[in-house]
A and B are shown apart, each in its own frame.
Chain A
Amino acid sequence: GAVVSQHPSRVICKSGTSVKIECRSLDFQATTMFWYRQFPKQSLMLMATSNEGSKATYEQGVEKDKFLINHASLTLSTLTVTSAHPEDSSFYICSALKDYEQYFGPGTRLTVT
């Protein structure tokens, strides 16, 4: 099966700082990756679609200048939460598309203090 990793798995940062989360497809190349956010006891919410070599497509209501997405290679997409605030604390999950199947990463728990 295909494996997707995320790093870090957990991160605590201070309000106002920026945090970068990496999403890697370990054994396949992914032209398309997705970023989701999940608040406690809620479902996954799609934030953006990341396409290798082009700009990400953001869902309505997601600030592209706050959540910077870079998909510079076929195996790596990064999500940078800029000027993080406590309300950005959440579980961030990425997924990568391979052969029309979506493989999810294990998630990154972000806590902003």
Chain B
Amino acid sequence: DAKTTQPPSMDCAEGRAANLPCNHSTISGNEYVYWYRQIHSQGPQYIIHGLKNNETNEMASLIITEDRKSSTLILPHATLRDTAVYYCIVGGINTNAGKSTFGDGTTLTVKP
């Protein structure tokens, strides 16, 4: 499975949009991009996933570049409870990236 690169940390003001980038330049044609987040001492929480089209759900939006080599997770109105480590991983749909590598993720800190 392809590996991903994320900035180690980001800050965001409460109420503003948080844009978290992810590079996955070696992604293959059948691999999806998944985003999870992990709040301290809890299990990861699924956020969103996509193949090539932009996706939106109640939590976030996922923007995938046309060449699929990078993507951006957008939290439209960040709250203090969105402070967490955000993981971008790529993998096959059949295991929902279950066998993919979790990188170090981006620690997002939402500040009042």
Using CB atoms and an 8 Å cutoff, list the residues of chain A in contact with chain B: 4, 6, 32, 34, 36, 42-46, 49, 91, 93, 95, 97, 100-107, 109
B94 touches A44 (CB 8 A): no
B32-43 to A contact mask, C-beta < 8 Å, 1/0: 000010100111
Contact of A104 among B44, B94, B104 (CB under 8 A): B44
Pair B104/A43 contact, Cβ less than 8 Å: yes
Asked whether, in the complex, the Cβ of A104 is within 8 Å of the Cβ of B98, the reply is: no
Min CB distance A26 to B, Å, is: 14
| Inter-chain contact B41/A101, CB cutoff 8 Å | no
Report the minimum CB–CB distance from B78 to chain A (whole Å): 22
Q: Are A104 and B96 in contact (CB under 8 A)?
A: no
Contact B104 A97 (CB under 8 A): no
Return chain B residues, CB-CB under 8 Å to A4.
43
B interface size (C-beta, 8 A):
21
Interface residues of B in 20-79 (CB under 8 A from A): 36, 38, 41-46
- Decide if the interface of chain A is mainly helix, strand, loop or mixed: strand
Q: Which B residues lie at the A interface, using CB under 8 A? A: 36, 38, 41-46, 87, 93-99, 101-105
Which 5 A/B pairs are nearest by Cβ-Cβ distance?
A104-B43, A102-B96, A44-B102, A43-B102, A104-B44
Judge whether A32 and B95 touch: CB under 8 Å. yes
By beta carbon, the residue of chain B nearest A93 is B43
User: With A43-B87, A105-B43, A107-B41 in contact, is A100–B96 under 8 Å at CB?
Assistant: yes
**Minimum C-beta distance from B108 to chain A (A):** 15
- The answer to whether A46 touches B99 (Cβ under 8 A) is yes
CB contact between A102 and one of B42, B46, B105 (< 8 Å): that residue? B46
